Structure 1
Amino acid sequence: MRKNIKYKITILLSFLLMTTTAFETKRNDNSKIKPWHLGIQLWTFHLYPFITAIEKADSCKIKNIEAYSGQPIGGIYTDSFNVNMSDKSKIFVKTILAQKKMKLHYWGVLNPSGKKEWNKIFEFAKQMGIKVLVAEPLKEDLDYADSLAGIYSMKIAIHNHPKPAPYWEPQLVIEAMNKHPNIYACADIGHWERSGLNPVECIKLLNGKIIDVHLKDVDEFNNIDANNKILGKGIINLNGIFEALKKQKYTGQITIEHEQDWLNNVPGVKENVKWYSNEMNKLFSSNYR
């Protein structure tokens, strides 16, 4: 009798252990799929100096920044965000970002004119803690830029301005990435829509090679002058894009680039953040308890 009871207890404990282990495995598998970091391209606030743009981004509760070249620093600093920034300005920018717990890992869109400029860009990026250079490289510089990216442990993300820009369609980006392991894609979905391309299909073509997404919505297809819209109020299939990115196990940044109401666009950015957060909750709800 005691043997039977002992046997039953052993079976029960084994079953509970197996159940717990299965649950833990499932939970750990799900935890690998996380919502993407939300950032903002500071071109959204290009009418203001860098320090004001940072304040605006912070007021929208965005902590990931994609800087662009040429934005005045502001305050007592007379130079701009670029490779020629003074050491004092570099220290100031890194200090204010640290105080606000913001990360500056992306910078672009860059248009280097040759190898000498690429050298300056990588050295400046290293000093600022930047990880991804969003750019439209000259095709003759691809080998050199890719090599530097490997040396500096950075990545280059090729951006697509509307046609007839050099990388306006995915196939052109794919050709540039060929045999260049450190070159990826920055998917500007609004510009694809403006160029008469289906952004969802473009995302699929660049499967696994996207590292930045410029998130926006527009009001017209195949018109390079199409107007920006609040996310979800334009014509872009944003949810289809999110689904495609999730399927690819995307791990890069989603970067809001809001291009309307330039003098008072904080309310629009906040509306975009709220919409995006709601969509992410729905998209990833099955992975969280």
Structure 2
Amino acid sequence: MKKTLTLLASLVLFFVASAQSNQSTNSAVNPAKDWKFGIALWTFHTFSFAESLDKVDSAGLKYIEPNNFTKTLPELNDSSLMQLSPSGIQKLKSLIEQRGLKCESVYLAGGKDIDAWKKQFEAAKQLGVQFVTTEPPLDMWDSIDSLAGIYGIKVAIHEHWKGMSHYWNPDTTLLAIKGHPNFGVCADLGHWPKSGIKPLDAIKKLSGHIIAIHLKDIAAYNNPKLVDVPVGTGVIDFPAIFRELKKQGFKGPIYIERDATDQPSNLPSVIQEVKYYNEQVSKL
């Protein structure tokens, strides 16, 4: 009888400690401070790099995620980041710093062989990022994970929709992460619904692996032809997602990203999304 009571007491203490631990973890996350709110520069891809930075500033954002395949600056012959020399990358980096912006990641187009990836990792290293957002080929997981370890840069696996990306299903992403310590996730919330996947379910499945978020909304499920709509106006339950991210102890970048090209620019919708985000985060 004493043994039974002792066992029960131990179990009670265990569950109390676990609950306290979870509560401590959740309360330790302050979304207003720990979530690095910013924007993927693809949002303004119809504008020059300098004009994009102007729009980021107008939206009151601080963190940016450029990509390595769109044009940079006229004085750099409008070359893409992946084509720039080290001095060109430094010029770009200086411009970002002069604007008071922070660039902790870059989206990589990738390549078909390890030399192409190495060149892009080299440029990312020169830019000073902490991780790259990309979709590594299925047969290059080992080599890209190794490359990431050599350069000290994490890989955040991004997903497009079914038929366009191997990673449309979170299970594939989990397979890629297994045994690859430098892999994590960049969860694009607006792409999952195109494949019929609820973003909240995917976020829960990928818990513990999420490095960054692409903040995006969509008007309906199971329609890959749709372009995104302003965050908070589509089918995605963002309040529930934000609560889940806080519960998971997520600390990292959340980047607004628009695929649509509003006229004259996406800036008004971005400002609308900034307001929506701040309102939701203030409720957490």
Q: Which interval holds the TM-score relative to the shorter structure?
A: 0.7 to 0.9
- Provide structure 2 residue ranges, at least 5 long, that are not aligned to the other structure: 1-22
Q: Residue 191 of structure 2 corresponds to which residue in structure 1?
A: 191
Question: What are the residue-to-residue correspondences of 1:45-84 with 2, within 5 Å?
Answer: 45-84=44-83
Deviation at 1:78, TM superposition (A): 0.6
C-alpha contact 2:200 2:241 (8 A) present in aligned 1? yes
- Provide structure 1 residue ranges, at least 5 long, that are not aligned to the other structure: 1-25, 284-289
Q: Give the 3 Å change call, closer, same or farther, for CA 185–262 of structure 1 in structure 2.
A: farther
| Matched position secondary structure for 1:190 | coil
C-alpha contact 1:110 1:133 (8 A) present in aligned 2? no
In structure 2, how many angstroms separate the alpha carbons of the residues matched to 1:267 and 1:83? Answer: 30
Query: 1:247-269 deviations in whole A, cap 9, x for unaligned?
Result: 11011210100233153211110
Query: 1:174-224 deviations in whole A, cap 9, x for unaligned?
Result: 001110011011111111011100110000000110111110111111111
Deviation at 1:58, TM superposition (A): 1.1
Equivalent residue letter for 1:210: I
| Matched position secondary structure for 1:101 | coil
| Matched position secondary structure for 2:181 | coil
Equivalent residue letter for 1:264: S
C-alpha contact 2:76 2:88 (8 A) present in aligned 1? yes
C-alpha contact 1:46 1:53 (8 A) present in aligned 2? yes
In structure 1, how many angstroms separate the alpha carbons of the residues matched to 2:27 and 2:60? Answer: 26
Deviation at 1:27, TM superposition (A): 11
In structure 1, how many angstroms separate the alpha carbons of the residues matched to 2:25 and 2:277? Answer: 25
Query: 1:99-153 deviations in whole A, cap 9, x for unaligned?
Result: 1111111111523211111211111111110111111111121111111211221
Deviation at 1:55, TM superposition (A): 1.0
Q: Residue 105 of structure 1 corresponds to which residue in structure 2?
A: 104
In structure 2, how many angstroms separate the alpha carbons of the residues matched to 1:282 and 1:202? Answer: 23
Q: Residue 266 of structure 2 corresponds to which residue in structure 1?
A: 265
Question: What are the residue-to-residue correspondences of 1:98-247 with 2, within 5 Å?
Answer: 98-164=97-163, 165-247=165-247
C-alpha contact 1:79 1:85 (8 A) present in aligned 2? no
In structure 2, how many angstroms separate the alpha carbons of the residues matched to 1:233 and 1:47? Answer: 24
Of structures 1 and 2, the larger Rg is shown by: 1
C-alpha contact 1:190 1:215 (8 A) present in aligned 2? yes
Quick check: which one's strand share is greater? Answer: 1
Deviation at 1:48, TM superposition (A): 0.9
C-alpha contact 2:86 2:123 (8 A) present in aligned 1? no
In structure 1, how many angstroms separate the alpha carbons of the residues matched to 2:158 and 2:222? Answer: 18
Equivalent residue letter for 1:266: L
| Matched position secondary structure for 1:76 | helix
In structure 1, how many angstroms separate the alpha carbons of the residues matched to 2:211 and 2:126? Answer: 21
Name the TM-score, length of structure 2 as normaliser.
0.86
Higher normalized contact order (CA 8 Å, seq sep 6+, divided by chain length):
2
In structure 2, how many angstroms separate the alpha carbons of the residues matched to 1:139 and 1:115? Answer: 13
In structure 1, how many angstroms separate the alpha carbons of the residues matched to 2:116 and 2:29? Answer: 38
Q: Give the 3 Å change call, closer, same or farther, for CA 137–205 of structure 1 in structure 2.
A: same
Aligned residues: 258
Q: Residue 33 of structure 1 corresponds to which residue in structure 2?
A: 30
C-alpha contact 1:69 1:80 (8 A) present in aligned 2? no
Q: Residue 280 of structure 2 corresponds to which residue in structure 1?
A: 279
Question: What are the residue-to-residue correspondences of 1:13-32 with 2, within 5 Å?
Answer: 30=27, 32=29
What's the Cα RMSD here? Answer: 1.9
Deviation at 1:31, TM superposition (A): 5.2
Q: Give the 3 Å change call, closer, same or farther, for CA 117–177 of structure 1 in structure 2.
A: same
In structure 2, how many angstroms separate the alpha carbons of the residues matched to 1:263 and 1:174? Answer: 40
